[in-house]
Amino acid sequence: MTDPKLKEAVLNGFAEKYGDAEGVSCYFAPGRVNLIGEHTDYNGGHVFPCALTIGTYGAARRRDDRKLRLCSLNVGGGKVVETSLDELTPSPEAGWTNYPKGVIWAFEGRGMKLPTGFDLVITGNIPNGSGLSSSASLEVLTGFILRDLYGFEVSNVELAQIGQYSENNYNGMNCGIMDQFASAMGKADNAIFLDTADLSYEYAPIALDGMKIVIANTNKKHKLTDSQYNARRAACEQALAELQQKVDIKGLGDLTPEQFEAVKDAIPDEDRRRKAHHAVYENARTIEAVSALKAGDIRRFGELMRQSHESLRDDYDVTGVELDTLAETAWTVPGVIGSRMTGGGFGGCTVSIVEDGAIDAFRDKVGGVYRKKIGYDADFYIVSIGGGPEKL
């Protein structure tokens, strides 16, 4: 369910910034959480994300010149940034506007040239820096708006691909396709079992009887374009090249754990071997987790979530003390089915499946241990699985 208050806020913001809201359209694109399958999406493996009912709201209207006026009610003090279709080059000064501008740039690169500019106001309820994909949500929202305002023929899968392409090539963040795909292709009460090697996917119903998905936010400030993320990707690409000397594969996701064990010595560097180990085993875990869910074995799903976190901690080195404190404390709380970090890591959030009757105890214990150990509070949100982008 979208939030009528945020729709109203974005329309009022538009009228206030640009004089009136005559002929303005309103849009929404969701954030996402990944239930299992982390750092597999750029390794040709499987992921299992779902769209959330929190996301980014936009109000937009075409102009009759080449100007772009962009305003976020969440960041930059609600300042209107004025630019134009002739200024589509990324710059640090452009801040958050690099995301919508990157999408316009990617549309134009595919031959979809905008005849005129537009005015845009956005707001949203994805917590900043939480790792719940506010950037992908904004990219998908922008693509969806461009399709609607200018009548471009482009599918939701293509909106995801355009969002990823712009983030890789305009914003310099080497992300995989998962975040944009989850936002563009979300379906209420379903997660998306996606094979990132060929973008084949199926929806898997998430029936959590007597349980909720709870997100815990470390509130640690992190910037994902961090060299850290791109370094992990580079290590996996090198490990893949080394394995390809021995075995015919396109991505690490092509190997089963048994096949990997037989050829892993082709990777001489121990650190790279651990990174590849994670990519292969995490992919296998994700496939098994979806089977467990289909069989109604939510306990097994929870065990696999724990194994996923341990691998991200021990092999992939992307957790850090904040995420480890949240996940490891969660594992000790009765009524917690599973808990793991979600997203790129180094900060951001954990995702947990918690029995309804245990939610208060979960918050109290995990929150208390976190405050004592880290020195500031974590935030907790109970989230619902929502649909994809829409015109409101």
Domain extent at residue 16:
4-205
179 is catalytic: yes
pTM of the model: 0.91
Residue 69 lies in a domain: yes
- 392 residues of the chain, pLDDT tens digit each: 788 999 999 999 999 999 999 999 999 999 999 999 999 989 999 999 999 999 999 999 999 999 999 999 998 788 999 999 999 999 999 999 999 999 999 999 999 999 999 999 999 998 777 777 789 999 999 999 999 999 999 999 999 999 999 999 999 888 889 999 999 999 999 999 999 999 999 999 888 889 999 999 999 876 554 678 888 999 999 999 999 999 999 999 999 999 999 999 999 999 999 999 999 999 999 999 999 998 989 999 999 999 999 999 999 999 999 999 999 999 999 999 999 999 888 888 999 999 999 999 999 999 999 999 999 999 999 998 999 999 99
Residue 234 lies in a domain: no
Nearby residues of 275 by Cβ (< 8 Å), 6 or more positions away: 232, 235, 236, 239, 315, 316
Here the CATH number for the domain that contains residue 54 is 3.30.230.10
With the CA atoms of 51, 56, 59 and 61 taken in that order, what torsion angle do they form, in degrees rounded to the nearest 10? -70
Residue 384 lies in a domain: no
Residue 20 lies in a domain: yes
Exactly one of 41, 119, 179, 315 is catalytic; name it.
179
Q: What is the pLDDT of residues 174-200, one digit of tens each?
A: 888 999 999 999 999 999 999 999 999
Residue 134 lies in a domain: yes
Please tell me whether residue 387 adopts helix, strand or coil conformation.
coil
Residue 120 lies in a domain: yes
Helical segments of the chain, H only: 4-18, 98-109, 134-150, 156-169, 178-185, 227-243, 257-263, 270-294, 298-314, 320-330, 359-374
Count of structural domains within the chain: 1
Residue 382 lies in a domain: no
Residue 339 lies in a domain: no
